[in-house]
C-alpha cells in the first residue's frame, strides 16, 4: 500500500484551500481525504460529534468491500459510493488508486451538487497528492545512544 505523502505547511494550506472552496460550493458540512487504509490525510469543515478517525476507517473498509463486489460483476471498482440517511448523508469518491474523498452533508444540499463539485476537485487533488508523493521526505538524523544523551551533559551514558 502506498504511504501517506509527506506534507509541508504549505502543502496543507494548498490542500485545505481546495477543500474549503469545495465545501462552500457544494454546501456540504465536512470533507476529508483519506488513504485506502483509512488514515486521514486532510480534513475540512465541521464534523460535529463524529469520530473522524472511525468514520475514515469505516469508509475505507466500505470502499474495499465494494471494490470486491464490483470485481464480482466485472467492474474494476465503483468510483463513487453514496449512503442516504434520514437527515445525514455520505458521499465517497475515489481520487486515485491510493486515496478517497469522503463528504458528509445534510438536507441543505443535494447529492447531485456534492457529486458535481467532487468530480470538479478530484483532478487537482490527485495532481497535488502525486506531487507530494514524488518528493523525498526529509531525512531524520540517526542518533547513537551517546548522541541521544548529549543534551543531558557528559557522563550520563
Per the domain annotation, does 157 fall within a domain? Answer: no
Q: Mean pLDDT score of the chain, rounded to an integer?
A: 87
The mean per-residue pLDDT over the stretch 90-104 comes to 95
Taking 80 as the threshold, does the pLDDT of residue 6 lie above it? no
CATH code of 35's domain: 3.30.450.30
Residue 31, strand partner residues: 44, 103
Confidence of residue 133 (pLDDT cuts 50, 70, 90): confident
- Does the residue 149 lie in any domain? no
Give the strands of the sheet with 89-94, arranged side by side: 40-45, 30-35, 99-105, 89-94, 80-84
pLDDT at 1 over 50: no
Residue 80 lies in a domain: yes
Contacting residues for 56 by C-beta, under 8 A, at least 6 apart: 32, 34, 38, 39, 40, 102
pLDDT classification of 12: cutoffs 50, 70, 90: confident
Residue 152 lies in a domain: no
| Residue 147 is assigned to a structural domain of this protein | no
Q: Are 7 and 125 in contact (CB under 8 A)?
A: no
pLDDT per residue as tens digits for the range 44-87 = 999 877 799 999 999 999 999 998 999 999 998 899 999 999 99
Establish if 92 belongs to a structural domain: yes
- The residue range of the domain holding 57 is 9-134
**Cβ atoms within 10 Å of 103's Cβ, excluding its own:** 27
Q: What is the pLDDT of residue 142?
A: 67
Residue reference for cell 456540504: 28
Q: For residue 110, is it within any domain?
A: yes
Q: Answer yes or no: is 140 within a domain.
A: no
Q: How far apart are CA 12 and CA 20, in angstroms?
A: 12
Domain count, the chain: 1
Amino acid at each position: 500500500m502506498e504511504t501517506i505523502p509527506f506534507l509541508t505547511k504549505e502543502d496543507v494550506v494548498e490542500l485545505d484551500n481546495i477543500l474549503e472552496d469545495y465545501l462552500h460550493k457544494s454546501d456540504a458540512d465536512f470533507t476529508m481525504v483519506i488513504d485506502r487504509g483509512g488514515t486521514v490525510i486532510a480534513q475540512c469543515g465541521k464534523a460535529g460529534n463524529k469520530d473522524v478517525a472511525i468514520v475514515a476507517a469505516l469508509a475505507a473498509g466500505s470502499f474495499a468491500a465494494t471494490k470486491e463486489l464490483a470485481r464480482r460483476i466485472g467492474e474494476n471498482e465503483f468510483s463513487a459510493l453514496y449512503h442516504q440517511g434520514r437527515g445525514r448523508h455520505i458521499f465517497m469518491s475515489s481520487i486515485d488508486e491510493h486515496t478517497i474523498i469522503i463528504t458528509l452533508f445534510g438536507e441543505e444540499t443535494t447529492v447531485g451538487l456534492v457529486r458535481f463539485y467532487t468530480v470538479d476537485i478530484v483532478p487537482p487533488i490527485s495532481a497535488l497528492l502525486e506531487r507530494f508523493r514524488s518528493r523525498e521526505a526529509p531525512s531524520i538524523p540517526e542518533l547513537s545512544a551517546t548522541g541521544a544523551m548529549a543534551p543531558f551533559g557528559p557522563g550520563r551514558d
